[in-house]
Amino acid sequence: MHLHKYEKIWLIFGGASLVLFLAILGFGAFYLGTHPQSHGVTIDPENVEANEAFQRENLGITQVDDDKYIVNVVASAFNYDLGSDEEGNAVSHIEIPKGSTVLFQVVSTDVIHGFNVAGTNVNMMVEPGYISSMEVQLNKAGEFTLLCNEYCGVGHHMMHATVEVVDDESGNETAAE
Amino acid sequence: MSLAMKQQQNEEINLTPLSIAKPEAKLYLSFMYVAFISLFIGGLMGLLQVLVRSGDFELPLGIGYYQILTLHGVILALVLTTFFIIGFQYSLLGKTVGMSDKQRKLGWLSFWTMTIGTALTGTAILLGEANVLYTFYAPLKAHPIFYIGLALVVVGTWIAALVNWHQVYVWKKAHPNQKTPLLAFMVTINMIMWVICSLGVAVTVLVQFIPWSLGYTETINVLLSRTLFWYFGHPLVYFWLLPAYMAWYAIIPKIIGGKIFSDSLARLSFILFLFFSIPVGFHHQLTEPGIDPTWKFIQVVLTFMVIVPSLMTAFSMFAMFETTGRKQGATGLFDWFKKLPWKDVRFVAPFAGMVAFIPGGAGGIINASHQLNTLVHNTIWVTGHFHLTIATTVLLTFFGIAYWLIPHLTGRKLTPKIHKLGIYQTIIWAVGMLIMSGAMHIQGLLGGPRRSSFSEYGGTEQAAEWVGYQTAQAVGGTLLFIGIVLMIYIFMELLAFAPKGEEEFPIAEEEEDAQPTPSWMENWKLWIGITIALILFAYTIPMIDIIQNAPPGSPPFDNIL
């Protein structure tokens, strides 16, 4: 089979770019450890409270160290359960100091949901039976929309909350208010 | 070599394409009717969606957004594409290797099986009993009729595959030592890929969904069903694309007055598409929690192997354009480009499709890039991506085929007026899609989700910013709907009103001094063997893992739809 000279050049150039590209992806995945979320940790979707992280009092944001937080969420049609505040109202807004490391852990009690903090790298599928989790560092201040981006039923587009990444100073102001 | 030379000589005898008799034409046209009716219904649903998402329009009569979204996806991505492809492929084989009376009867069986399946699924959707979108992810549950209808559509395509292979087999027996005509070779490959991949969706629908939706089984393994779906879902997009490639490789050269660039390279690229279309479904599941990341990465690598045949195709197209232009007297570096037939819609529409495949393909590389996928997964960027690939590249090529195929089958002429209208259609489509898909890509990068009705997301600043892009999508979508109405008008003209005459069924030939195609190209057992080996390599271990480490299954949910 005959290959035109230019086609050889074209394919060698294309093939080499491809190899380089895949090497970069592989370096990111296996050396730097930036895989998409995949932990294979299972849970009974009808009894998520069997796992301590998803008991009512542990939902929402918890500080675990100086700059470390855990956010536990139970997703169900059409709501993200982020726990309750002191008055017993459902939380729909969480604040995280800028620069802190946050571990998001999310489960579903019914169908498949999405968990996307729009504008950040937090983007996970949440499937009944598995714990979705992802650790990120939030370095950009601002208010981000947490929303469901996998169709889950008639109220899918009403499933949302907000995540605010606060600068140290503005964080103090909020506390003062 | 001498055998190949002999093949070459034998080929000469076989160059005149067969003619299509009336009863055959009727069969091929029936597929086209369903395809174009689907285009209109699906396009209308698309228009309603972009209007709802602009925030200024509400659906009347209690129709739900997700109901029309389901209809849009099913009728365009599954019905329009499949009917057009099966009809087109029958016509290609009828023209190159022939169709017997018995094969034609089985062809009708495939048509009616698919049509009844479509009607059943459509009924379930119209009754609002199947608002599960075209991917029908468990544990959302549709009415059993929805799944049964889809299964029938697939069974219909399998009948078509068997008929197609039989057509080629009969020709082969009558023409020993000759290479299978290029288009027949391509159809054979596409149907091998289709049957191997659709086994996945058949298993999940027949073994998992139907018993579960009927209440015979209580729970479903969600991840297994998704994995089987995407084992099918990615080759599905190549099943759409390869018929467009058939036209690019083997029909367009004839339209522009040129020859096939290289018969062997065309075949080789199809063989590579067969290998690397199937063992790659995980790249649709990258952000899922239950699949081992190493296996995700392995399938990402396999996904990127299709870049090789894609680059080969891009080279072949432009080489063919340049060679043709130079033969017609073009000089200088880019003069040949002007020599292309810019007033011939049979060329212009597919050419616009090729151009769209440059950003479309690049976007696809981004989507499948392991970590990078997290940034765009389930954002409306993805919707923008496949409206470039399937709804522009593939669809404009299908329109480009329809301009000559319909009049060829109805015994009418493609008039200069329709050429002109078709070029306007192409321009409207290109502009509409540039606006709609462009806005989708940008909104997606900003985090805007796909598959979502209009929402202010509690009044966040981000959501307010997205509305502007959704308005742009409504503008683009409206233009696209105008394009669809124009296309339906053209279709009806070619069907019943254009002047009677003979329209050519363009099939390109090789250069007279073309290198002979090696005979090992038709070693089907080897190609199928490699395909299956790659699938087993990519899926066996992760599948065992998914089944062995499965969480408790999920009961059906249909009260939230």
Chain A from 47 to 76: CB within 8 A of any B CB: none
The answer to whether position B441 is within a domain reads yes
CB contacts of A46 in chain B (<8 Å) are 552
* Residue B11 clears pLDDT 70, i.e. is over it: no
Asked if the structure places residue B551 within a domain, the reply is yes
Closest-CA distance, A174 to chain B, in angstroms, reads 18
Query: If you average pLDDT over every residue of chain B, what do you get?
Result: 94
Tell whether A23 lies on the interface with B, counting CB pairs under 8 A. no
The conformation of residue B258, written as its DSSP 8-state character, comes to -
* Whether the predicted pLDDT of A176 surpasses 80: no
Q: Give the residue carrying structure tokens 């499949």.
A: B82
A153 → closest Cβ in B286, B462, B560: B560
**Pick from A109, A23, A125, A132: nearest CA to B230:** A125
Alpha-carbon gap, residue B534 to B183, rounded angstroms: 25
From B72, B104, B385, B441, the catalytic residue: B385
pLDDT attached to residue B515:
84
Q: Is B530 exposed, middle or buried (0-12, 13-18, 19+ CB in 10 A)?
A: middle
Q: Taking CB atoms and an 8 Å limit, are B460 and A143 in contact across chains?
A: yes
CB atoms within 10 A of CB A150: 28
pLDDT at B503 over 50: yes
What is the percentage of chain B residues whose pLDDT exceeds 90? Answer: 89
- pLDDT at position A45 is 93
Q: Is residue B326 part of a domain?
A: no
**Could you tell me how many residues make up chain A?**
177
How much is the pLDDT for B2?
A: 46
B373, B448, B455 member nearest A36 (Cβ): B373
From residue B297, give the alpha-carbon distance in Å to each of B78, B300, B351, B378: 28, 5, 34, 19
pTM for this model (two decimals): 0.94
Segment 115-174 of chain A within 8 Å of chain B by CB: 116, 118-119, 121, 123-133, 143-145, 147-158, 160-162
Tell me what the mean pLDDT of segment B234-242 comes to.
96
Spatial distance between the Cα atoms of B77 and B240, rounded to a whole number of angstroms: 9
**pLDDT at residue B10, as a whole number:** 45
Q: What is the pLDDT of residue B13?
A: 44
* Residue pairs spanning A and B at CB distance below 8 A: 226
Q: How far is CA B36 from CA B40, B345, B546, in A?
A: 6, 18, 40
User: What is the arrangement of strands in the sheet containing A93-97, beginning at the earlier edge strand?
Assistant: A93-97, A160-166, A142-147, A113-117, A123-126
Q: Which residues contact B16 (CB under 8 A, 6 or more apart)?
A: none
Which residues does chain B have within 8 Å of residue A157's beta carbon, measured at their own beta carbons?
449, 452-455
Same domain flag for B503 and B531: no
Residue B6: CA count within 13 A, CB half-sphere: 8
Q: What is the pLDDT of residues B408-461, one digit of tens each?
A: 999 999 999 999 999 999 999 999 999 999 999 999 999 999 999 999 999 999
**Tens digit of each residue's pLDDT (9 = 90 or more) over B447-485:** 999 999 999 999 999 999 999 999 999 999 999 999 999
B386 and B280 in a single domain? The answer is no
B544 plus B471 within the same structural domain? no
The answer on B555 and B468 residing in a single domain is: no
Q: Which residues in chain B touch residue A8, judged by CB atoms under 8 angstroms apart? A: none
| Distance between B462 CA and the closest CA of chain A, angstroms | 7
Angle value at C-alpha B340, between B336 and B346, nearest 5 degrees? 160
Kindly state the average pLDDT of the residues B150-174: 97
Per-residue confidence band for B512, with pLDDT thresholds at 50, 70 and 90: confident
Note the helical H segments in B305-415: 307-327, 335-338, 345-367, 373-376, 380-388, 395-410
Cβ proximity of B237 and B190 under 8 Å: no
Q: Does the residue B491 lie in any domain?
A: yes
Does residue B285 share a domain with residue B145?
Answer: yes
Residue A95 pairs in a beta bridge with: A164
Judge if B500 and B428 occupy the same domain. Answer: yes
Element of type H or E holding B135: none
Catalytic residue flag (residue B238): yes
Question: Are residues B493 and B351 located together in one domain of the fold?
Answer: yes
Torsion sign over Cα A72, A77, A79, A83: negative
Whether residue B200 sits in one domain with residue B124: yes
3-class secondary-structure state, position A31: helix
| HSE-up of residue B483 (Cα within 13 Å, Cβ side) | 28
- CB spacing of B550 vs A131 below 8 angstroms: no
pLDDT at B518 over 90: no
Active site residue B346: no
Q: Return the CATH number at B178.
A: 1.20.210.10
Quick one: DSSP state of residue B209? I
Assigned domain for B330 exists: no
Residue where the block lists tokens 């069903």:
B225
pLDDT of res. A174: 46
Which residues does chain B have within 8 Å of residue A119's beta carbon, measured at their own beta carbons? Answer: 446-447, 462
The model's pLDDT over A20-46, given as tens digits with 9 standing for 90+, comes to 999 999 999 999 988 888 888 999 999
Q: Could you tell me which of A76, A116, A80, A45 has the C-alpha nearest to residue B559?
A: A76
Q: Answer whether residue B62 shows pLDDT above 90.
A: no
B345-383 pLDDT, tens digit per residue, is 999 999 999 999 999 999 999 999 999 999 999 999 999
Residue in B288, B297, B311 nearest the CB of A127:
B288
| Digit-coded pLDDT (tens) for B322-331 | 999 999 988 8
- Pair B502, B541 in one domain: no
Tokens 């020599």 locate to B339
pLDDT score of A33: 86
Q: What is residue A171's predicted lDDT score, i.e. its pLDDT?
A: 46
Tokens at residue B212, please? 């579960």
- Partners of residue B522 in chain A, C-beta under 8 Å: none
Which residue among B88, B111, B386, B469 is the active-site one?
A: B386
Give tens-digit pLDDT for B262-284: 999 999 999 999 999 999 999 99
Q: How far is A67 from chain B (nearest CA, A)?
A: 24
Closest-approach residue (CA) in chain B for A6: B315
Question: Are A1 and B515 a contacting pair at CB < 8 A?
Answer: yes
CB B192 within 8 A of CB B24: no
Query: B197 to each of A90, A138, A172, B109, B159, how far by Cα in Å?
Result: 46, 41, 57, 22, 15
Instruction: Report whether B42 contacts B71 (CB < 8 A).
Output: yes
Residues B499 and B396 in one domain: yes
Indicate whether B264 and B349 sit together in one domain: no
Q: Which residues of chain A are within 8 Å of residue B307 when distances are taken between CB atoms?
A: 14, 18
One of B166, B370, B377, B451 is an active-site residue; which one? Answer: B451
Q: DSSP string spanning B412-455?
A: B---HHHHHHHHHHHHHHHHHHHHHHHHHHHHHHTT-BSS----
User: Distance, in angstroms, between B526 CA and closest chain A CA?
Assistant: 18
Distance CA B189, CA B173 (A): 18
Predicted complex: ipTM over 0.85: yes
Mean pLDDT calculated for residue range B335-354 = 95
pLDDT on residue A53: 94
Q: Does a cis peptide bond (omega within 30 degrees of 0) precede residue A78?
A: yes
* Residue-range definition of the domain harbouring residue B360: 341-507
A143 contacts B451? CB cut-off 8 A:
no
Separation between Cα atoms, residue B390 and residue B410, nearest integer Å: 27
Please state which architecture CATH assigns to domain A48-176: Sandwich (2.60)
Determine the residue among B221, B554, B558, B559 to mutate to test chain A binding: the one whose Cβ has the most chain A Cβ atoms within 10 Å: B554
Confidence label for A169 from pLDDT (cuts 50, 70 and 90): low
The residue type found at A104 is F
- The DSSP string of A81-107 is E--B-TTSPBP-EEEEETT-EEEEEEE
On whether the CB atoms of residues B232 and B136 are closer than 8 A, the answer is: no
Q: How does residue A88 score in pLDDT terms, banded at 50, 70 and 90?
A: confident
Task: Please give the tally of structural domains in chain B.
Answer: 2
Report d(CA B448, CA B442) in Å as an integer.
Answer: 9
For residue B1, what pLDDT band results from cuts at 50, 70 and 90?
A: very low
| Residues of chain A found within 8 Å of residue B286, distances taken between Cβ atoms | 36
Token pair 């490391």: residue: A101
A175 reaches B (C-beta below 8 A): no
Residues of chain B with Cβ-Cβ distance to A159 below 8 Å are: none
pLDDT at B15 over 70: no
Catalytic pick among B53, B226, B346, B387? B387
Cα–Cα distance measured from residue B404 to residue B505, given in angstroms and rounded to the nearest whole number: 7
C-alpha distance across the termini of chain B, in Å:
64
d(CA A114, nearest CA chain B) in Å: 8
Determine whether the interchain pair B287/A125 forms a contact, defined as Cβ–Cβ distance below 8 Å. Answer: yes
pLDDT at residue number B514: 83
Asked if the peptide bond before residue B551 counts as cis, ω within 30 degrees of 0, the response is no
pLDDT attached to residue A175: 42
The answer to whether the Cβ–Cβ distance between B140 and A152 falls below 8 Å is yes
Q: Considering only CB atoms, which chain B residues are within 8 Å of A153?
A: 66, 140, 557, 560-561
